[in-house]
Amino acid sequence: MKTHLNVAIGQYSHRGRKQLNQDCHGSSVPAEPQLSTKGIALAIADGISSSDVSQVASQTSVKSFLEDYYCTSETWSVKTSAERVLQANNSWLYAQNHRNHEFRLNKDKGYVCTFSTLIFKSNTAYLFHVGDAQISRLGISETRDKTEVLTQQHRLWLSGDRSYLARALGIVQPLEIDYAELPLAYGDVFFLATDGVYEYVSEEFVSQTITANFNDLDLAAKNIAEHALGQGSEDNLTVQIARIEALPSGQSNEFLQRQNELPFPPELTARMTFDGYQVLRDLHKSSRSHVLLARDLLTQQKVVIKVPSTEGRHDRSYVERFLLEDWIANRLNNAHIVKSHKASAKRRYCYVVSEFVDGQTLAQWMVDNPTPSLDEVRSIVEQVAIGLQAFHRQEMLHQDLRPENIMIDVSGTAKIIDFGSAFVSGIEETRTSEMSQVMPGTAQFLAPEYFLGEFGSKQSDIYSLACIAYHMLSGRSPYGASVARALNRSAQHRLVYQSVLAAHRPLPAWVDLTLKKALQPDRFKRYSELSEFIQDLRKPNIKFIAQARPPLLERDPLVFWKGVSLIFGVVIIGLLYLNFN
């Protein structure tokens, strides 16, 4: 039976003995699909006492974080989403301080606050922290018998009783954020509090109060705050408690679960009509899928329908990756990526529909154009790179880039297709261990790190694209079949790059050096960005000019042979001299 993430939350905040409450807290428990893709968030902020406007900073930070975090891309990881929102919040507060002369000279009077947040997604807690609030995981569950403090105070002490915040929102640009990932277990209890609370209550009291008020965590939070007040706290009092009530099992992505519940379509044949489409003809059949050309009966548009193969329908992991293709296509809008087709009728079966690209695969184009010009190769590679950049901006990797997965339409536009092996950071965070990633792609164009069992990176897609460019220029692979056999780092270090230059195919030497860098077995020696690779493929990199300079024999044979003759002459004279003496 599938379960969903469920967290019980208790919260309380009070101004305490102060006239104004400069603390702020909040939480968000979204409905599906955001519960799966973004998770549950708690946030707590504490304004500094020396400022008359820091309550604005704390309120703005908590409210904007809980709103903006859920507006970030579903494909982004929690880390990317949260850090980008926090950096934006920090930039806004920093800008407000710099617009005011008094705040610019004295940050202690400006828009400054601490900020800590816990985000629960799938089976993991993600912690982000700056300032002196505290987050703890209590030792009161079946799996935890010891309380651990998960944050440290970003406070610089001048003496025993004098200190100031070394890190907080609004002080400096860019913001340095503490980050941690914690595996979750059923019953885990997290305790978040500002310094007006945790400095005046004991670990034992907190644990006992939460245990005693198991069914009312709001009351537990209030009792803990009031106890801190009774113990002499003179600061604002804010407490948040979160208890893990249930954890998701299996694939927790709601979209994939919902689509997976649909039945598989019957065998589709030409002239058949179903779900508002008329099948025209087969396009491709393989052990993975059946691809057909069809017409949308409402719009009369030609579309491509893809259904899981009969052999793969019993493989849950395969079906979910199959459905992920449509999920990805709906989140990318780029001229060089095939589009998902919006259905005109309600879908009754499990399949995916995409735009029909009237053209041919790059594999067939290469057969028809065995010796393309360098400009033709550049044009196709640059177009594919634009599509790949759209993937990378959304924290996705294609992972199966090869000539068969690139379409060239009648106008010469290149489009990336087939996302069945794609890596999506936001989705991978929801996967459980039994659904670990299998090796993606096709060996001939796959980056070497995949053969070591490592996860891919942007550099992996760059390798595949460079491998395609190399193949278009030479008709072969840069390392032959050796990459697939190099199953350890030592073997990969022994791989020897074969120059793309050939006597029958005049190419600039710097193009070869560009490809050589993009095709390094060690990913850290490759280009870090696609734009760098494309730039060097278009214009010679100054670093390559010296390396690309032809040898003296090619540049000036006469000077070369004169030099050789001179050396031989000196050697002969030396030998004669030794014989006569």
Q: Between 184 and 256, where is the model more confident?
A: 184
**Tokens 């400009």 found at:** 375
Judgement on whether residues 115 and 176 belong to the same structural domain of the protein: yes
- Per-position DSSP letters for 330-363, written without gaps between them: TT---TTBPPBPPPSS---SS-EEEE---EEEHH
Supply the pLDDT for residue 434: 43
Judgement on whether residues 312 and 338 belong to the same structural domain of the protein: yes
Using the predicted structure, report yes or no on whether residue 56 has a pLDDT greater than 50. Answer: yes
Say how many C-beta atoms besides its own lie within 10 A of residue 286's C-beta.
10
Contact residues for 375 (Cβ-Cβ < 8 A; gap 6+): none
Supply the pLDDT for residue 225: 97
Number of domains in the chain: 3
**What are 365's two structure tokens?**
């184009």
Q: Between 129 and 428, where is the model more confident?
A: 129
Using the predicted structure, report yes or no on whether residue 76 has a pLDDT greater than 60. Answer: yes
Using the predicted structure, report yes or no on whether residue 160 has a pLDDT greater than 70. Answer: no
For the chain, the straight-line distance linking the first and the last C-alpha, in angstroms and rounded, comes to 99
Judgement on whether residues 521 and 385 belong to the same structural domain of the protein: yes
Question: Which pLDDT band holds residue 556 (cuts at 50, 70, 90)?
Answer: low
Judgement on whether residues 37 and 161 belong to the same structural domain of the protein: yes
Q: Calculate the average pLDDT of the chain.
A: 89
Supply the pLDDT for residue 356: 95
**Tokens 């214009």 found at:** 539
Using the predicted structure, report yes or no on whether residue 291 has a pLDDT greater than 50. Answer: yes
What are the distances in angstroms from CA 499 to CA 91, 118, 479, 516, 539? 48, 51, 10, 8, 19
Q: Report pTM.
A: 0.84
Question: Which pLDDT band holds residue 251 (cuts at 50, 70, 90)?
Answer: low
Judgement on whether residues 404 and 304 belong to the same structural domain of the protein: no
Judgement on whether residues 346 and 422 belong to the same structural domain of the protein: no
- The tens digit of pLDDT for each residue in 466-479 reads 999 999 999 999 99
Judgement on whether residues 364 and 500 belong to the same structural domain of the protein: yes
Nearest Cα neighbor of 262 from 349, 199, 193, 320 is 349
Judgement on whether residues 229 and 259 belong to the same structural domain of the protein: no
**What are 410's two structure tokens?**
């009648």
Give the helix, strand, coil percentages of the chain, each rounded to 5. Answer: 40, 20, 40
Using the predicted structure, report yes or no on whether residue 352 has a pLDDT greater than 80. Answer: yes
- Per-position DSSP letters for 50-119, written without gaps between them: T-SSHHHHHHHHHHHHHHHGGGS-TTS-HHHHHHHHHHHHHHHHHHHHHHSHHHHH-GGGSS-EEEEEEE
Judgement on whether residues 306 and 334 belong to the same structural domain of the protein: yes
Question: How confident is the model over 184-212, as a mean pLDDT?
Answer: 96
Say how many C-beta atoms besides its own lie within 10 A of residue 578's C-beta.
8
Contact residues for 189 (Cβ-Cβ < 8 A; gap 6+): 137, 138, 140, 141, 144, 210, 241, 242, 243, 244
Supply the pLDDT for residue 381: 98
For residue 383, the one-letter residue type is Q
Among candidate residues 304, 321, 355, the one where a domain is terminated: 355
Supply the pLDDT for residue 271: 93
By percentage, how much of the chain surpasses pLDDT 70?
A: 92
Question: How confident is the model over 46-56, as a mean pLDDT?
Answer: 91
Question: How confident is the model over 307-335, as a mean pLDDT?
Answer: 86
- Looking up residue 345, the CATH number of its domain turns out to be 3.30.200.20
- The tens digit of pLDDT for each residue in 403-441 reads 999 999 999 999 999 998 999 999 888 875 444 455 676
Confirm whether 579 is domain-assigned.
no
Confirm whether 370 is domain-assigned.
yes
Question: How confident is the model over 362-386, as a mean pLDDT?
Answer: 96
Q: State which of 212-216, 424-428, 572-576 shows the largest mean pLDDT.
A: 212-216
Confirm whether 554 is domain-assigned.
no
Judgement on whether residues 460 and 518 belong to the same structural domain of the protein: yes
Residue 45 contacts residue 21 (beta carbons within 8 Å): no
Confirm whether 203 is domain-assigned.
yes
Using the predicted structure, report yes or no on whether residue 255 has a pLDDT greater than 80. Answer: no
Q: Between 579 and 269, where is the model more confident?
A: 269
Confirm whether 557 is domain-assigned.
no
Supply the pLDDT for residue 138: 96
Supply the pLDDT for residue 549: 56
- Looking up residue 23, the CATH number of its domain turns out to be 3.60.40.10
- The tens digit of pLDDT for each residue in 382-403 reads 999 999 999 999 999 999 999 9
Judgement on whether residues 111 and 148 belong to the same structural domain of the protein: yes
Question: How confident is the model over 7-21, as a mean pLDDT?
Answer: 96
Domain extent for 112: 6-246
Dist. CA 370–CA 526, nearest whole Å: 27
Among candidate residues 331, 355, 379, the one where a domain is terminated: 355
Confirm whether 580 is domain-assigned.
no
Supply the pLDDT for residue 347: 84
Confirm whether 208 is domain-assigned.
yes
Using the predicted structure, report yes or no on whether residue 201 has a pLDDT greater than 60. Answer: yes
Among candidate residues 355, 390, 421, the one where a domain is terminated: 355
Confirm whether 82 is domain-assigned.
yes
- Looking up residue 437, the CATH number of its domain turns out to be 1.10.510.10
Question: Which pLDDT band holds residue 259 (cuts at 50, 70, 90)?
Answer: low
Q: Which residues pair with 45 in a beta bridge?
A: 24, 115
Using the predicted structure, report yes or no on whether residue 581 has a pLDDT greater than 80. Answer: no
Question: How confident is the model over 138-146, as a mean pLDDT?
Answer: 89
Buried b (16+ CB within 10 A) or exposed e, 466-499: bbbbbbbbbeebbbeebbeebeeeebbeebeebe
Supply the pLDDT for residue 433: 47
Using the predicted structure, report yes or no on whether residue 554 has a pLDDT greater than 70. Answer: no
Judgement on whether residues 237 and 260 belong to the same structural domain of the protein: no
